[in-house]
Amino acid sequence: MTLMTPDEYYKSIQRDVNLYMFGEKVKEFWKHPIILPSINAVKKIYELAQMEEYKDIMTARSHLTSEIINRFTHIHQSTDDLIKKVQMQRLVGQKTACCFQRCVGFDTANGLYSVTYEIDKKYNTNYHERFKKYWIEVQKQDLMVGGTMTDPKGDRGKRPNHQSDPDLFLHVVDENDDGIIVRGAKIHQTGFLNSHKAIIMPTLTIRPGEEEYAVSFGVDITEKGITMIYGRQSCDTRKMEETKLDIGNFKFGGQEIFVVFDDVFIPNDNIFMKGEIEFSGELVNRFAGFHRQSYGGCKVGVGDVYIGAAALISQYNGTEKASHIRDKIVEMIHLNETLFSCGIACSSLGFQREAGNYEMDMLLANVCKQNVTRFPYEIGRLGEDIAGGLICTLPSEADLRSTEVGPFLKKYLTTCDGVNVEDRYKLLRFIENLTMGVSSPSYKTESMHGAGSPQAQRIMIARQGNLEEKIELVKNILDIE
């Protein structure tokens, strides 16, 4: 059994990478105050997997090696695996209150597993065996693998091969007997910097004449030609100040990276798709389905913490007994559990692919994510309502510590007996952080755009909704020919 400890993970990512932030190259990124909370969030996954009380949820037995592995490296073998995935994601969300960054690679692997099998079946290629060999090493070493899909896209009204710059979609620019050379960029890459490896996918269905864009491969993030640019988040530089209260969630945080691939060489053994255009859309859809299922867990876990914060601030404010406050918290719980119900439902109705792995119900996974684009906004609105306007106007921690004005703040920010003003500060900043700050990077905004925009889910719901079958139901009841 190989389960990496948090300390082992932290040491394993201490290597040279080509990373920029604020226009300057970052050295020893694992020490940077803006980046460190995102690393802590990943470390929490490794910590939970070591704890006996969470072993059933956080670990699984590999069908590839028969060893106990971290569930974030597992290929689903049953509907029970799909359900435990969602439960695991809720748990980690509860423990970090942010994006813990390991879901994208997890979902990529599960989508790619069946797609490579089907490509091989049609074309007699060996992508599936390559991928299994690649993934066995991931499981044995308990590596964190990022998943990368989103291209810059350029002019959205034009196809990849009609862009003024062909690199606006990542593509193959050259190849030889040993492998391929790729060029392009991937944006919004969750946890890419904190990963050991990454798997790259197309961002849309590739058409005839665009074969160079139908490419999927694995790569080490230290590979020559990869440049990373750290994405800004609201209030991010607060982490660089000599403060703790102003940060909000000062332990954990998310991370998004802009990744440039400037003529990166990919050896044949790491290539999982190359030009098989008819499978590109299927890979996009399967990954998206798995990732939309994920939001029924991770966002629910963060929601649990947010609801707890709203309830606690009502106690600090002395409003917890007001009927409208109680009703708002009930509504927050109702919406959050509805999201969880969707995640569990699409998992429970999962099915087995020909490759042997299990996939969630695609329609319900998209319904799950469609709800995630809406419900966290209402949960967030209700929490902000309960907290009050101080989450936007609270003076700084430096003011609270000031000998000149600090006494005023402590005097006039006092609420109920026994409530420490500093604890109230912590809580108000935490709520601010979740709704407007650097948590996921934002509980609300990331819920909107993560795993595809709302319209992407509506397209899939239209495809999966079986409208003609519903029409036939009416005809049969009414004896309409």
* 103 has catalytic annotation: yes
d(CA 109, CA 206): 20
Angle at 126 between CA 122 and CA 129, to 5 degrees: 120
d(CA 226, CA 223): 6
* 67 has catalytic annotation: no
* 129 has catalytic annotation: no
Question: Which residue among the candidates 59, 108, 190, 373 is catalytic per the annotation?
Answer: 190
Partners of 148 in the β-ladder: 200
């139908």: which residue's tokens? Answer: 214
* 368 has catalytic annotation: no
Q: Are 228 and 18 in contact (CB under 8 A)?
A: yes
Report which of 41, 84, 43, 91 is spatially closest to residue 301, judged by C-alpha positions.
91
Contacts 24+ apart (CB under 8 A), 422-426: 422/245, 423/316, 424/313, 424/316, 425/245, 425/394, 425/397, 425/400, 426/245
Tokens of 77: 């073998």
d(CA 281, CA 214): 9
* 346 has catalytic annotation: no
Write out the DSSP string of 289-358.
HHHHHHTTTHHHHHHHHHHHHHHHHHHHHT-TT-HHHHHHHHHHHHHHHHHHHHHHHHHHT-EE-TTS-E
Q: Are 253 and 43 in contact (CB under 8 A)?
A: no
Cβ neighbors of 302 (< 8 A, separation 6 or more) are: 93, 94, 97, 98, 434, 439, 440, 443
* 481 has catalytic annotation: no
Question: Which residue among the candidates 54, 59, 98, 103 is catalytic per the annotation?
Answer: 103
Burial class (CB in 10 A: 0-12, 13-18, 19+), 25: exposed
Question: Which residue among the candidates 9, 295, 316, 443 is catalytic per the annotation?
Answer: 295
Tell me the three state secondary structure of residue 176. Answer: strand
């994405």: which residue's tokens? Answer: 231
* 190 has catalytic annotation: yes
Q: Are 221 and 183 in contact (CB under 8 A)?
A: no
* 337 has catalytic annotation: no
Question: Which residue among the candidates 59, 79, 99, 196 is catalytic per the annotation?
Answer: 99
Question: Which residue among the candidates 212, 256, 359, 384 is catalytic per the annotation?
Answer: 256
d(CA 117, CA 128): 5
Please report which helix (H) or strand (E) contains residue 281, including its range: helix 280-294
Question: Which residue among the candidates 298, 342, 346, 368 is catalytic per the annotation?
Answer: 298
Q: What is the edge-to-edge ordering of all strands in the sheet holding 145-148?
A: 145-148, 197-200, 215-220, 271-274
Report which of 402, 187, 179 is spatially closest to residue 272, judged by C-alpha positions.
179
Point out the residues that are catalytic: 99, 103, 190, 256, 291, 295, 298, 446
